[in-house]
Amino acid sequence: MENFEEALRPFHFELEPKLIASYPAPNRDESRLMILNRRKEQISIKPHFRDISSFLHAGDLIVFNDSRVSKRRLYLQSEKGREHECLFLEKQDQANIWKCMLRKPGKLKKGDILKVGGTSFHFLYNEGKESFIDSVQELDESFFETYGAMPIPPYLKRKAESLDETR
């Protein structure tokens, strides 16, 4: 069976930076619409999402993504005072161990303590692009709401803002 990255390869494409919105449109139906013509292998950008019905045909399948993003980006402090940006991905089956993505984890060693809001974490190890940390307490959604920030894609080249929490 092919690996995950190979399976995603057909969905990879390059877009000019000017085609990527840094902020959402004021009204969702005013967002631009990207159309992929698979037969011609062409991508075109249309002015408004509200025009989507003109591109649909009988039998087409529409999948609505109604997911929400949680405030899972935290800035943890090491005992040496260094800030470590950490994106919490998922809780593991064992106790309070979390899989996360740490920016620049190379300086961390097994057992190093990181803190945020009075909560301590023990750095365990890196595995590729993912890191594993152990929280001294159970983390629930209210913890992330209190101490977390909205993770936004790095290609937007901006920090999260309050409007990112509602859109």
Q: Coil, strand or helix: which one is 5?
A: helix
What total number of domains does the chain contain?
2
In a domain, 140, yes or no: yes
Q: How confident is the model at residue 163 (pLDDT cuts 50, 70, 90)?
A: confident
Owner of token pair 């365990």:
124
Query: What pLDDT is stored for residue 134 in this prediction?
Result: 95
* pLDDT at 1 > cutoff 50: no
In a domain, 162, yes or no: no
Residue 134 class from Cβ within 10 Å (0-12 exposed, 13-18 middle, 19+ buried)?
middle
Nearest to 124 by CA among 109, 138, 136: 109
In a domain, 80, yes or no: yes
- Residues whose CB falls within 8 Å of the CB of residue 115, separated by 6 or more in sequence, listed in order: 76, 77, 121
- DSSP line for 69-123: ----EEEEEETTS-EEEEEEEEE-SSTTEEEEEESSGGG--TT-EEEETTEEEEE
In a domain, 64, yes or no: no
Section 32-53 average pLDDT? 86
Same domain for 77 and 124, yes or no, is: yes
Same domain for 79 and 127, yes or no, is: yes
Q: How confident is the model at residue 28 (pLDDT cuts 50, 70, 90)?
A: confident
Q: How far apart are CA 55 and CA 66, in angstroms?
A: 21
In a domain, 153, yes or no: no
Same domain for 142 and 86, yes or no, is: yes
Q: How far apart are CA 76 and CA 98, in angstroms?
A: 14
In a domain, 160, yes or no: no
Helical spans, DSSP H, in 79-119: none
9-18, 42-51, 108-117, range with the lowest pLDDT: 9-18
Same domain for 77 and 125, yes or no, is: yes
Top pLDDT among 2 and 71 is at: 71
Domain coverage including residue 129: 73-147
In a domain, 165, yes or no: no
Same domain for 47 and 112, yes or no, is: no
Same domain for 81 and 141, yes or no, is: yes
CATH of residue 126: 2.40.10.240
Same domain for 82 and 132, yes or no, is: yes
In a domain, 31, yes or no: yes
Same domain for 91 and 36, yes or no, is: no
Q: How confident is the model at residue 14 (pLDDT cuts 50, 70, 90)?
A: confident
Query: To the nearest whole percent, how much of the chain has pLDDT over 70?
Result: 98
